[in-house]
Amino acid sequence: MAGFGTNDIKGREKEDEGDKNSNTLESHVVIRTEGEEVGQSSSERDTIHRSGSRPQLDLSKAAIQGNFEERDPAILLPNQSDDLSHLALDIGGSLIKLVYFSRHEGQSIDDKRKKTLKERLGISNGSRRSYPILGGRLHFVKFETNKINECLDFIYSKQLHRGGMDARIWNPDAPTNESSVVKATGGGAYKFADLFKERLGVSLDKEDEMNCLVSGANFLLKAIRHEAFTHMEGQKEFVQIDQNELFPYLLVNIGSGVSIIKVDGDGKFQRVSGTNVGGGTYWGLGKLLTKCKSFDELLELSQRGDNGAIDMLVGDIYGGMDYSKIGLSASTIASSFGKAISENKELEDYSPEDISLSLLRMISYNIGQIAYLNALRFGLKRIYFGGFFIRGHAYTMDTISFAVQFWSNGDAQAMFLRHEGFLGALGAFMSYEKHGLDDLMVHHLVERFPMGAPYTGGKIHGPPLGDLNEKISWMEKFVRKGTEITAPVPMAPPGTTGLGGFEVPSSKGGTLRSDASALNIGVLHLVPTLELFPLLADPKTYEPNTIDLSDHGELEYWFTVLSEHLPDLVDKAVASEGGTDDAKRRGDAFAHAFSAHLARLMEEPAAYGKLGLVNLLELREECLREFQFVDVYRSIKQRENEASLAVLPDLLMELDSMSEEARLLTLIEGVLAANIFDWGSRACMDLYHKGTIIEIYRMSRNKMQRPWRVDDFDVFKERMLGSGDKKPCPHKRALLFVDNSGADVILGMLPLARELLRRGTEVVLVANSLPALNDATATELPEIVAEAAKHCDILRRAAEAGGLLVDAMVSSLDGSNGNSSSVPLMVVENGCGSPCIDLRQVSSELAAAAKEADLVILEGMGRALHTNLNAKFKCDALKLAMVKNQRLAQKLIQGNIYDCVCRYEPVS
Ligand SMILES: Nc1ncnc2c1ncn2[C@@H]1O[C@H](COP(=O)(O)OP(=O)(O)O)[C@@H](O)[C@H]1O
Ligand SMILES: CC(C)(COP(=O)(O)O)[C@@H](O)C(=O)NCCC(=O)O
Ligand SMILES: [Mn+2]
């Protein structure tokens, strides 16, 4: 449909009138679940959501209460917290790497509704793992080895040596275990054992370094989706690792020295070679030759260098010509530092920049070459490079990649790891028994990039700041200091010439992002309750994002959309927390944090792994949560729900007076029309100033004209109603992924759900676990359904059967009580708090509900267009959305804003 003219819409006063007339939800609330927001003080709500992502999935309290019959493992065994280890170390020649685990208080809403639901879905008992996976977070921190005292202070301040602060949060009476044991690897585990004992009273349990490197690498390659990447000529590309073809591979760890390991499987490896010319050589020699004070300074110098001033090039020997017969260009380095012998110059006559670059190239190239030769020795094609020498530095990676590519004629591939320097520490962490990490799968891990590490220059450790005040004041300091965070990472292509030579890197004068602000690895959230959505036709090829943000134009467009939305979002966020000074400070901090993330990603889109809209939109919500904005759109949602519930009875009556066929069309039309209530869309927000909810809804419905831009309604209708005399059998169970609040869910999806129920199909409403924009959450839905059920027998009976109406439930219309024989209407949480959905990581509840489902209905722009438009399912799928963005409409459906998509994909 075309745009909405102002003529269509009446003045704003109407809305207020409508508000006065409508019943408020609060006055009708019947069920109130534990932990529910209604009526809670904001501080109570904070506690519930403070833990950030997906707390509902983490049923820690249930486990704490000792109900070992429950399947949900989440965070478990608080009383055994002494057995659970929280810290592992890799103490190397140059750096100390720490991996530590923190548990966070999850929200458990184990109410009656959930219990009934679990019974229905058959997930109440049995199949507990023998070793529960822990729910919590893995943090990565590093220190310089020569500043070991800083490291000891850090461990002490976080009490990590005592099993962590968390242990006492769970069990305040837990004795502090003075003789605790911490897993450690690297030479320092021996060298500093006494110091750890003396200062912290802990014994270091030494683990073999190679073993740790390998198990760390294997864990990363198996459990993290976007861990490994190639880096050629400035281009970073993530590689999808086929788990069946993971082994064998060559692992090259470039620390102070270099270890080269052939890996054949878990625990199956051989250190086949190594070289003493490694990261320590670059840093050591570089320090002597340039007087640099830090590794980063040295690396930064290299970016402004011209190694041709020191290196003897092929051209220098051949009078400026290539030696093309053997494939060497004039710019190929014939002899690193070779020029220094023929010139009558002293060290001071060479620039530190040139020296640093010569050194970097010499060492990187040499390691690349030795790595390749070893790969050749064993016929290996995949070479993974780790170790902190790499430091995510584009030029280093390009040089190594070039060497491998050049010498192997393209046969072997150099790949790098995002957690490059933490392999050993992760391996040491893995060596604890009983942590259950071996069972972890890709879908159990969510990586988050919190703001608030101390980015102050110089310090290389960057523990995330847990305390909100600390975070905000850091953010304020940062804002005063300037743009340290957003300073560009030098990513300029190195200008490789081919033929074994390199031109001088073209990036000039850029400062290297300080190590602590590199922010390219986040905190790994372990969420054991996440699962792969079982109805995906082919999980291996599934890609949630529809739009490819590696297209720079797209990236820029969506970044602009998000930036422009920010001021309004901050206003709403601050208002949602009462507009207090504290809320304003948090609002400011949020705006800066989110802008900094955007700026970071704009410079280096792949910094946080492969980037898509699903990540960007979730990042925004996560960032709000980080600054404790619990539910920004709460009052908007409530107002829209109230207005919509008030007109629901009329709508249901209207529907009931129609023929089956007309009704089905009206229902689908209703869903599409009501999808206009989206507070994430700029165009829609502008629209809301022009009319009341009900007016906009009516107008939207009046404008629904078929054919829609994508219109598979007739095929869907045939599947639902049959044709001629043939009545098809109804679907057994439909999953309805709902979107937005108010009209969208109440006047759109609920009536559709009711129709399915009427036809004997069980309905599962799938809603967000956490708030995102104005999306209804799974905790809000039962109340909404309860209200709707007051006006509708079908909904009431189904809701009762699905356990949605509990205790002193609505006084039923027909006076009957108790369980009816109706097919059930259920509500499950989807496991996320974003306007989009990545079906590789959904709640276990949803995964269980999906097993019996034969129809999936995805609704809304976020879940059906930005993500999943191209997703294929093992069952029938209906994708419904109104496109509320002009550019997207053009791109996806060659249409216009407010056009509609009704895509039906029957299982073949
Ligand atoms: N901030 C830093 N300080 C010192 N060295 C660093 C730093 N960042 C990167 N490096 C490089 O990383 C190397 C150490 O890598 P790492 O994998 O930690 O090995 P090790 O276990 O031998 O300490 C150093 O020799 C240096 O080349
Ligand atoms: C965030 C959204 C995906 C939510 O849409 P919904 O799923 O509610 O239909 C959408 O509002 C969106 O893409 N907004 C940004 C584009 C714009 O403002 O035009
Ligand atoms: Mn939405």
Position 577 pLDDT exceeds 80 = yes
Residue with token string 């191209």: 870
pLDDT for res 857: 98
When mean pLDDT is compared across 59-68, 637-646, 844-853, the lowest value belongs to: 59-68
Residue given tokens 């190679």 in the structure block: 210
Pocket lining: 561 vs ligand 2, CB cutoff 6 Å = yes
Say which ligand is closest to the CA of 421.
Answer: 1
Identify which has the larger pLDDT, 628 or 816: 628
The mean pLDDT of 718-731, rounded to a whole number, is 91
- 3-class secondary structure, 679: coil
* Model pLDDT, residue 740: 97
> Residues 362, 314: contact at Cβ < 8 Å?
no
418-427 pLDDT, tens per residue? Answer: 999 999 999 9
Confidence (pLDDT) at 436: 65
**Mean pLDDT value of segment 545-552:** 94
Burial label for 564, CB within 10 Å (0-12, 13-18, 19+), is exposed
Rounded CA gap, 320 and 537, in Å?
A: 59
Question: What's phi and psi for 254, nearest 5 deg?
Answer: -100, 90
Q: Does any ligand 2 atom lie closer than 6 A to the CB of residue 681? A: yes
Higher pLDDT, 545 or 139: 545
Report how far ligand 1's centroid is from the alpha carbon of 215 (Å): 20
Establish whether residue 385 lines the binding site of ligand 1, counting it when its CB lies within 6 angstroms of any ligand atom: no
* CB distance 94 to ligand 1 below 6 Å: yes
CA of 740 to the centre of ligand 3 (A): 4
With a 6 A CB cut-off, is 862 part of the ligand 2 pocket? Answer: yes
Separation of alpha carbons 23 and 646, rounded Å: 7
- What DSSP character marks residue 671? H
Q: Is the CB of 95 under 6 A from ligand 1?
A: yes
Answer yes or no: are the C-beta atoms of 445 and 57 closer than 8 Å: no
Out of 90-104, 163-177, 306-320, 705-719, least confident range: 163-177
Residues 641 and 23: beta-carbon distance below 8 Å: no
840 near 539, Cβ under 8 Å? yes
Which residues are CB-neighbours of 822 under 8 A, at least 6 positions away?
757, 794, 797, 798, 800, 801
Cβ atoms of residues 123 and 851 within 8 Å: no
State both tokens at 233.
């000529």
Q: pLDDT band at residue 719, thresholds of 50, 70 and 90?
A: very high
Tokens of 779: 């905790």
Alpha helices in 291-351 (DSSP H): 295-302, 314-317, 339-342
Q: 131 to each of 67, 84, 182, 187, 284, how far by Cα in Å?
A: 16, 12, 20, 31, 45
Q: Is 392 exposed, middle or buried (0-12, 13-18, 19+ CB in 10 A)?
A: buried
Dist. CA 678 → ligand 2 center (Å): 7
pLDDT > 70: what percent of the chain?
78
Q: What is the pLDDT of residue 452?
A: 56
Atom of ligand 2 nearest to the CA of 675: 9
Q: Residue 331's pLDDT is what?
A: 78
Bridge partners (DSSP) of residue 237 are: 230
pLDDT of residue 664: 98
Average of per-residue pLDDT across 588-602: 88
- In ligand 1, which atom is closest to the CA atom of 515? 1
**61-70, 273-282, 814-823, range with the lowest pLDDT:** 61-70
Does residue 33 have a pLDDT over 50? no
What is the predicted pLDDT for the residue at 805?
86
> Residue range 613-632: average pLDDT?
95
User: How distant, in Å, are the alpha carbons of 438, 709, 883 from that of 672?
Assistant: 45, 12, 9
Q: What is the pLDDT of residue 512?
A: 53
Determine the length of the chain.
908
**Span 666-692, mean pLDDT?**
91
Ligand 1 atom closest to Cα of residue 254: 17
Measured from the Cβ of residue 605, the count of other Cβ atoms closer than 10 Å reads 18
The domain segmentation of the chain, as residue ranges, is: 6-14+633-905
Residue 560's nearest CA partner among 599, 526, 524, 522 is 599
Beta bridge partner(s), residue 501: 332, 498
Beta bridge mates, 328: 323
Q: For residue 866, give the ligand 2 atom closest to its CA.
A: 3
Most confident option among 117-131, 289-303, 423-437, 471-485? 289-303
* Buried residues in 819-835 as b, exposed as e (16+ CB within 10 A): eeebbbbbbbbbbbbbb
CA of 862 to the centre of ligand 2 (A): 6
Q: Look at residue 296 and give its three-state secondary structure.
A: helix
- CA–CA separation, 593 and 600 (whole Å): 10
Sole residue written with tokens 């094609």: 381
Helix boundaries (H) for 1-92: 13-21, 25-28, 42-49, 60-64
Average pLDDT of the segment spanning 328-339: 86
pLDDT of residue 71: 32
pLDDT of residue 570: 98
Which residue has better confidence, 703 or 463? 703
Instruction: State the Cα–Cα distance between residues 752 and 748, nearest whole angstrom.
Output: 7
Amino acid at position 529, single letter: T
Among residues 112, 68, 104, 86, the alpha carbon closest in space to that of 808 is found at 112
Q: Is residue 742 in contact with ligand 2, taking CB distance under 6 Å? A: no
Closest atom of ligand 2 to CA, residue 562: 15
Least confident range of 262-271, 554-563, 808-817: 808-817
Collect all residues with Cβ–Cβ distance below 8 Å to 201 and sequence separation of at least 6: 161, 178, 179, 180
Which tokens is 208 given? 């073999």
Give the lowest-confidence range in 221-225, 773-777, 865-869. 221-225
Sheet holding 825-829, edge to edge: 710-711, 900-905, 876-882, 855-859, 733-737, 762-767, 825-829
CA distance 263 to 271: 9
Instruction: Give the pLDDT confidence of 733-766 residue by residue, as tens digits.
Output: 999 999 999 999 999 999 999 999 999 999 999 9
Beta-strand ranges (E) seen in 732-824 are: 733-737, 762-767
The answer, yes or no, to whether any atom of ligand 1 lies below 6 A from the CB of 282, is yes
CA 801 centroid distance within chain: 35
Distances (CA, A) of 47 to 134, 252, 582, 607: 21, 44, 16, 31
Closest CA to 294 of 95, 486, 453, 89: 95
pLDDT at 85: 52
- CB of residue 93 inside a 6 A radius of ligand 1: yes
Q: What is the pLDDT of residues 650-670, one digit of tens each?
A: 999 999 999 999 999 999 999
Nearest protein Cα to ligand 1, atom 27: 279
> What pLDDT shows up at residue 686?
86
- pLDDT for res 479: 66
Residue predicted with more confidence, 298 or 132? 298
| Share above pLDDT 90 across residues of the chain, in percent, rounded to a whole number | 60
Q: What mean pLDDT is reported for the chain?
A: 81
User: Residue 717: pLDDT above 70?
Assistant: yes
Q: Is the CB of 436 under 6 A from ligand 1?
A: no
Distances (CA, A) of 771 to 52, 114, 187, 680: 11, 19, 47, 13
Question: According to the CATH classification, is domain 6-14+633-905 in 3.40.50.10880?
Answer: yes
Global ipTM: 0.93
**Are the CB atoms for 178 and 203 separated by under 8 Å?**
no
Cα 523 to ligand 3 centroid, rounded to whole Å: 27
Strand intervals (E) in 496-651 = 496-498, 501-502, 523-526, 530-531
